[in-house]
Structure 1
Amino acid sequence: MAFLIFLYSMMILFSGILLFPMKRSMLSFLDAVSDAILVYVMGVMQAAPFKNQLFPVWALMLVSFRSSINALSSYGTYFELRNALKLLAVAYLNITHGSKLWHVPFWLFWSLLALKCCYRILARHVASQSLWSGRSSELLQEYMGANGKESNFNPERCNPETMEGYKYFVYGESQKSRKKGHSLSVKDLRPLVTLDKIWQCDDGMLVSSIRRQGKDLSLSFALSRLLRCRLEGAKLHADTVSMTRKLISKRILAEDPEDEQFGIRILELDVEFLRDSLHTSYPMVFCSGFLSLSFTILVCLVKLLVAHWLYKDISKVYSLDLLLSYKDLNKQGLGLYIDETRITTASLTSVITLEIWEILTYFISNWTKLLAMCKFVNCRNRCLKFVLNMLFRFHYILNLPKGFLILSMEWHTTNLMRLFRLFSTMFKWEMTLFIEARHLNARAADYAKARVIQALRTMDLEGHPLSKDLPSPRISVKAERYWLASVADIPRCSRVILVWHIATCLCEIKFANDSGTGLTWMSGAPFLVDQKGPTGELHKAHTVANYLSQYCLHLLVSKPKLLPEAILVSKKTLQDTIQCAHEMLKGCGSFQIMYDKLMEEPQKAPDTHDINLSGNILQQGAIMANALIKKDETCRWVILAEVWAHLIVHIAPSSKIEAHAEDLKSGSEFITVIWALFSHCGIEKSELWQQKKGAESGNSTSGLANQSSNVADTHVQEASPDSGMS
């Protein structure tokens, strides 16, 4: 039983708090194992040769625990039916083994669990038919589709600053929409809460910071509904793309001195709402607005009270004073009773804690704040003002534990990798060149996001596909020759990532060597150089380049389905490069030896005005690193940071919307956030990865040898020396 509770605790930790690549697989495995163990434990209780009146209580708590695990997951009918069968088994167990001393609270608690199962099945059906959730795309297709009113989407009348003209639906359709034949239509826009209404609500009753957060949530939610339209194949009017593109360019990507994180925060919330809509229970909890939310919270509160009642009744029977009064009770029997009391107390306490956590999770969620803001726009009163103030001021209660636990998990991951490097075979040295620890602090992530946003601001979002040129003159002067050298001929995403990652790793080793960092043994840290060392522009550029380099490699290794090329191509390129590294770096026991080995060949490279990328991918990366090392330290890392920022921007556009939607089950990737931006702008691919005439198809296995360890030579000549080095 203790092991089962431990498994349940792990599932709650994984499902509600931690996000990591193997999350969905881990949860599926734990779900199957815990269910099998639960059925076995209940069977053992029923078949036991002796009767214990606490068996039904323990079984009921285990089923309640199991039910609470999926509180934030997208629970389905099959899961709830399984719980219902377990409840029937618990009822039979109580009839045959239960005590009449706590008869009433036990059956009340059992009834609440049964009610919760039935309600969840009903709520799922209601949510699937709701115009706010399940049929949202169907409604938006009628409202914003080709047959919609032109007045609803006129880019000329739209103002991204005030949101005037952006009549994107946010809330209220379920009451004010009606069915005509087999289609849906909106009878009257006035009672509905649209994006422009929320942004133009400057009521003095709300604090400016709360009003701004409410506007951000409404904008993100409206955009997430457009993303869902694309996922579900809904066709929208062409002008809606122009309107959204204008909103992205003029508002989300615009520089805001007062709030530098505005753009990335809106896009992250956009993807988070999409994830919640697809893979969590929030659409079911809010299927009827505050009514369904209130019912869910009320059931949790009643369960709390009944659990406390049950605990009180059991305590009366199993109190220590009462047990000591029995003269015929020996020490062994007393110890057994004490253990049973502890198990009962622990199980009831765990259930009560879970119920409190579930209530807080729903109450302080972004969905509750969004709903409260929409209600306030339609009905402004002091009661709603109080609710909004409370929700927005205390949202950090749930955010703090999440960040702490993720950082703790990454810290342990880093130490596990260090142990792996210490005790594994010689192959660990070659693998270390490609797989770095991902424990990077929040400041490093902020630097990287800011640099990517800067790169996005320089892009022409009107074009389709995305132009492959480096648009910024400041960037072109420093980085153009390096950029063109890596994407010449038939650029493949996996090849370009590996070439630049190897170049970045070699530049990092050079930087560490110049900084006096010992390179005899492999380091377990994410960066070889202490981040407190570099300062100013060098510090930011160094952090961004390493962060994005490791992140892009993470995508290639763990999430190749999110890259704009066939998965087979990505995997083949990576496998061949690792095999090549195994052969070339055999016997290398440190970073310094690796560096010396790889940099021997590039010393024969041509003059400083040309970059000839030839040989296999490792050699190409070394040649690129050798050319970069000839620059001064700051300029070198600025070039790397800008190239990586633009590279991840070109990786993001794709038509693989199903892959991104499926990957959201394990959490939101940064690449998905950038993909969402391009999706809103109608950009599905980059010119960078388009095949030239006569080139091999990216989906075929022929031609993969060019990406392998025996890759054919590639030559890139820069004719004009003036356009290269700065």
Structure 2
Amino acid sequence: MAGYCTDDALADFSRVMGGQMLRVNALMVVNAILMGVMVGIGAYGHRYRHHPLIRFLFLGATILFLPIVSYIISITSNQQTIAVPSRGGHITVIGYCSPNVHMILILVWTALVQIVGINTTAIVATDAREGRSIAPPAVLLVQAIWTTYLGFGIIENIDFVRQSNLKVFVFYLVILAPFSLIFAKIFLKYYAWYSATHSFAFGRNPRLIVGYMMQLPDRRHHAEVASGHTPPPLIVSREDTVLVEKQPHGYRMCSRGDTARINNKGGLVTIDKVWELDDILLKSTTQLKDVCFSFALFKMLRCRFAKYVVREAGFMKAHNFLWHLLLEDSDDKRILGVIASELSFLHDYYYSSLAISYSKNRLPIWNIFISLLTIVYCLLCAIDLITLAVPALKDMPDHDFKDFIDIFTGQLSCVMSCIPDPPQTSFPKDPHQTELAGLDFGNFLFDLLPLLSLTALVVLSEVREIASYICSDWTKVALMCRYVSWHEYPTWRKWIGKLLECRCKLPRPWKNKMNQCSILVLHPRNTPVDLLRRLIPLPEQKKNIKVPREVQTAIVSTLRSMRGDLSNDIKSAQQLGIQVGDTFLQACNTKGTSDALLAWHVATSILEVRYPHPTTSSSDDHSVATKLSRYCAYLVAYSPELLPDDDAWSSDLYKATKKDALRVLSAAPAVTSTLEMEYRQLVELLLGATSKNNMLKDGAKLREQLVELMEGEEAAWKTLAGFWSKTILYIAPSDNLEGHAEAIARGGELITLLWALLAHLGVDRRPESTADTTTTMDASGII
């Protein structure tokens, strides 16, 4: 008995449907925010994964995502036929709606979100002793299964699926293709993780490296010299091609007679084989050798994270060759570049899914293929969406923004008719009645813009994924090992050589940056942020700079002069031109490393006020001293876990000293006539400062000792540059693996770079940990 509809009945229907669409679009916005949280934490949250707030946000976003998607799809699926009783009396409005396109776009949007989530999820396969293994999250599989179920439910509700034509095939493809890609990606993740976990080249590698290094003869005292030092046969790749057996200290490779060659085209690849390579097909042989050497060192460094000590991990057997690079290579930047590349490998292994994709030879190729299919699908979706929008844009009468919004109506189009309630009654007479009414609800922009944005995001993530395989150092190492091994395949070697010569670089996770902060700020800026920081205890602003070349040169030069023997050279710290004796002990009566660093930082800062513009001959020493001084102040303030002292004590010490400095400097006149007057006023203020720790006064007294012993500006900066270069090397050795792991996760620290370098040179602890150097260091006044 369908009949006429009154205006009141249509208004009631519009109110109900408008409310539904408003809730759906609001939840779409909420889901977009949740997507941003999941993707952001998945991509960058490993740097702060131990923070409770980060865990709470990620868990909440993961839990809420599926229920919201389910609710949205259930509402839209039930919108084909809707009955709304009229509040005005005895009429029920029946709406016949067509939510097909809206449902499909929601489902595609949900699938693309999961693809981005899979791409940004870190999956790690490590040894049990490392304790850093991360399996593929089960929630990814649950989300994929559930959304696929919802997708099939949507297919059943689409009106034209029973028609046998091309449109049916296209819509099946649009709905099912992304879920096929999701399951393919998840399957590859699980397969790669399982393969890497059981591989001697990946998950079980530390135990194998330890056992292998114990089998190597110690050649530190009788290095082979031909055209240079020959590196020890450190393993680079292809550990899975040899037969191993368990032993008390890890895995041991069987003797050559018992070695089983499994799918072997050349056997185990070691760094000495790579170093002997001198092929005219490879123009950048030195760079490729350094990358392979970094990879071999990376495998040894993993042994440290697996709780093996330096001697167990065999670091000492690489000691001689590293000294060869340090002493005989004229490029000071090269050795630090090798270690930086090693730490980049470590970052990729512990904080991304890139490494496990190399556990099987063809996995990178399959990943690239699936990424290409995903890109093609996203481009087709974008083209399809644009073709839906273009006709509406052509019909727009002018370029007014309101008209632009109005033309995109119709997320849901409904045709209404009315029946009396109860059915036996007749329709009330009303002059404003229509037999059929058609209305559009929602705005197509809520479907169009998020989906277009998401397709662009997916394309970018897939392009980045492909580029990471093609341009990464992992691929270079894999190709180099194939190049070294496949002697019997000259054609393949030729093509591999061409691939190795291709130039493409991606930003490395290792930032090569050093933060700077200072206790003494004589003329603070008066920007709104700085004024707010004085009123509210906001974190101090840090300055992040690239590690200057002169700083790298000074550190490497100091390390060369020390020959890696920190105990002997810390003993002669006063021989750096600072012969202060008992007067030094009185000026810098320290309890630990942090207060000594702050005292020397204050002294350096005072001299910087006296000599703000260094001469040409002392500019490098000035840069080294000031940059390392501010970096050590930053370590005390923000990364005290990388120093020998207690974290909380160091942090509180910095805060108290900074507070005293602000109080003392607030009494300084705003303007002084000369630099000399400003310098003297600063010294007087600091010498008169009173506080619990007296760091400012100690630094000012130390400055007096330095001025008395040094002649002129050049001598001052040369002395301080030498002191800070040696000090940064002294504080670098550490047993705090977690602290350095966190530093690697957030992009690296200079002190972590030196920590890894010294570990490979056999220095794994500070001199004060040995009984024969404790008295010496206490007397030196540095610690």
Give the structure 1 partner of residue 629 of structure 2: 549
Matched, 1:231 2:326: no
Distance, in Å, in 1 between the alignment partners of 2:557 and 2:773 is: 33
Query: CA 1:462–1:402 in structure 2 vs 1: closer, same or farther (change >3 Å)?
Result: closer
Query: CA 1:388–1:673 in structure 2 vs 1: closer, same or farther (change >3 Å)?
Result: farther
Equivalent of 2:507, from 399, 424, 432?
A: 399
**Aligned-pair distance for 1:390?**
4.2
Distance, in Å, in 2 between the alignment partners of 1:503 and 1:389 is: 55
On the 8 A contact 1:436/1:550 being kept in 2, the answer is no
Give CA deviations for 1:362-382 in whole Å, capped at 9, x if unaligned: 211111111111111111545
On the 8 A contact 1:167/1:195 being kept in 2, the answer is yes
Equivalent of 1:644, from 724, 731, 744?
A: 724
What amino acid maps onto 1:31 in structure 2?
F
**Aligned-pair distance for 1:91?**
1.9
RMSD, aligned α-carbons? 4.4
Distance, in Å, in 2 between the alignment partners of 1:114 and 1:296 is: 13
Distance, in Å, in 2 between the alignment partners of 1:167 and 1:693 is: 34
Query: CA 1:177–1:63 in structure 2 vs 1: closer, same or farther (change >3 Å)?
Result: same
Give the structure 1 partner of residue 241 of structure 2: 175
On the 8 A contact 1:653/1:684 being kept in 2, the answer is yes
Equivalent of 1:457, from 557, 560, 563?
A: 560
Higher mean C-alpha displacement, 56-65 vs 118-127: 118-127
**Aligned-pair distance for 1:237?**
6.3
Query: CA 1:554–1:29 in structure 2 vs 1: closer, same or farther (change >3 Å)?
Result: farther
Normalized against structure 1, the TM-score is what? Answer: 0.76
Query: CA 1:120–1:227 in structure 2 vs 1: closer, same or farther (change >3 Å)?
Result: same
**Aligned-pair distance for 1:269?**
1.5
Distance, in Å, in 2 between the alignment partners of 1:678 and 1:362 is: 31
Give the structure 2 partner of residue 205 of structure 1: 281
Q: Aligned runs of 1:364-513 on 2, under 5 Å?
A: 364-380=471-487, 381-391=490-500, 393-396=502-505, 398-399=506-507, 419-425=528-534, 437-440=542-545, 442=546, 445-462=548-565, 465=567, 467-470=569-572, 476=575, 478-481=577-580, 485=584, 492-512=592-612
Distance, in Å, in 2 between the alignment partners of 1:314 and 1:269 is: 43
Query: CA 1:348–1:333 in structure 2 vs 1: closer, same or farther (change >3 Å)?
Result: same
Query: CA 1:88–1:632 in structure 2 vs 1: closer, same or farther (change >3 Å)?
Result: same
Distance, in Å, in 2 between the alignment partners of 1:544 and 1:174 is: 46
**Aligned-pair distance for 1:571?**
3.0
Normalized against structure 2, the TM-score is what? Answer: 0.71
Query: CA 1:224–1:417 in structure 2 vs 1: closer, same or farther (change >3 Å)?
Result: farther
Give CA deviations for 1:503-554 in whole Å, capped at 9, x if unaligned: 1222222334xx5xxxxxxxxxxxxxxxxxx453322122222211121122
Q: Aligned runs of 1:254-333 on 2, under 5 Å?
A: 254-257=327-330, 259-288=331-360, 290-312=361-383, 318-321=388-391, 331=407, 333=409
Distance, in Å, in 2 between the alignment partners of 1:457 and 1:407 is: 22
Distance, in Å, in 2 between the alignment partners of 1:336 and 1:218 is: 56
Distance, in Å, in 2 between the alignment partners of 1:360 and 1:282 is: 11
Query: CA 1:591–1:227 in structure 2 vs 1: closer, same or farther (change >3 Å)?
Result: farther
Query: CA 1:553–1:255 in structure 2 vs 1: closer, same or farther (change >3 Å)?
Result: farther
On the 8 A contact 1:545/1:641 being kept in 2, the answer is yes
Q: How many residues get paired?
A: 643
What amino acid maps onto 2:683 in structure 1?
M
Report the structure number with the largest CA radius of gyration: 2
On the 8 A contact 2:295/2:342 being kept in 1, the answer is yes
On the 8 A contact 2:106/2:447 being kept in 1, the answer is no
On the 8 A contact 1:581/1:618 being kept in 2, the answer is yes
Partner SS, residue 340 of structure 1: helix
**Aligned-pair distance for 1:393?**
4.0
Q: Which has the higher strand share?
A: 2
On the 8 A contact 2:210/2:312 being kept in 1, the answer is no
Q: Aligned runs of 1:326-725 on 2, under 5 Å?
A: 331=407, 333=409, 336-338=443-445, 340-380=447-487, 381-391=490-500, 393-396=502-505, 398-399=506-507, 419-425=528-534, 437-440=542-545, 442=546, 445-462=548-565, 465=567, 467-470=569-572, 476=575, 478-481=577-580, 485=584, 492-512=592-612, 534=614, 536-581=616-661, 584-585=664-665, 587=667, 598-600=682-684, 616-628=694-706, 631-687=711-767
Partner SS, residue 263 of structure 1: helix
**Aligned-pair distance for 1:244?**
1.8
Distance, in Å, in 1 between the alignment partners of 2:750 and 2:463 is: 32
Partner SS, residue 236 of structure 2: strand
Query: CA 1:19–1:646 in structure 2 vs 1: closer, same or farther (change >3 Å)?
Result: farther
What amino acid maps onto 1:84 in structure 2?
L
What amino acid maps onto 2:115 in structure 1?
S
What amino acid maps onto 1:42 in structure 2?
V
On the 8 A contact 1:127/1:134 being kept in 2, the answer is yes
**Aligned-pair distance for 1:37?**
5.7
What amino acid maps onto 2:253 in structure 1?
S
On the 8 A contact 2:200/2:240 being kept in 1, the answer is yes
Distance, in Å, in 2 between the alignment partners of 1:70 and 1:283 is: 13
On the 8 A contact 2:730/2:766 being kept in 1, the answer is yes
Higher mean C-alpha displacement, 650-659 vs 233-242: 233-242
Query: CA 1:342–1:545 in structure 2 vs 1: closer, same or farther (change >3 Å)?
Result: same
Distance, in Å, in 1 between the alignment partners of 2:461 and 2:291 is: 27
What amino acid maps onto 1:485 in structure 2?
F
Partner SS, residue 439 of structure 1: strand
What amino acid maps onto 1:439 in structure 2?
N
Partner SS, residue 399 of structure 1: coil
Give CA deviations for 1:572-601 in whole Å, capped at 9, x if unaligned: 433443454455455558697996665116
Distance, in Å, in 2 between the alignment partners of 1:38 and 1:192 is: 47
Query: CA 1:395–1:2 in structure 2 vs 1: closer, same or farther (change >3 Å)?
Result: farther
Matched, 1:126 2:195: yes
Equivalent of 1:35, from 47, 56, 62?
A: 62
Matched, 1:191 2:264: no
Higher mean C-alpha displacement, 448-457 vs 233-242: 233-242
Distance, in Å, in 2 between the alignment partners of 1:602 and 1:576 is: 15
Matched, 1:216 2:290: yes
Equivalent of 1:109, from 175, 178, 201?
A: 178
Partner SS, residue 332 of structure 2: coil
What amino acid maps onto 1:57 in structure 2?
V
**Aligned-pair distance for 1:15?**
7.0
What amino acid maps onto 1:358 in structure 2?
E
Higher mean C-alpha displacement, 90-99 vs 643-652: 90-99
Give CA deviations for 1:597-624 in whole Å, capped at 9, x if unaligned: 65116779xxxxxxxxx98111011122
What amino acid maps onto 1:478 in structure 2?
G
On the 8 A contact 1:455/1:645 being kept in 2, the answer is yes
On the 8 A contact 2:209/2:313 being kept in 1, the answer is no
Partner SS, residue 170 of structure 1: strand
Distance, in Å, in 1 between the alignment partners of 2:139 and 2:317 is: 47
On the 8 A contact 1:154/1:165 being kept in 2, the answer is no
On the 8 A contact 1:141/1:236 being kept in 2, the answer is no
Which runs of 5 or more structure 1 residues have no equivalent in the other structure? 516-533, 605-613, 699-713, 717-726
Distance, in Å, in 2 between the alignment partners of 1:254 and 1:573 is: 39
**Aligned-pair distance for 1:123?**
1.5
- Percent identity between matched residues is 21
Matched, 1:45 2:117: no
Partner SS, residue 548 of structure 2: helix
Distance, in Å, in 2 between the alignment partners of 1:572 and 1:692 is: 31
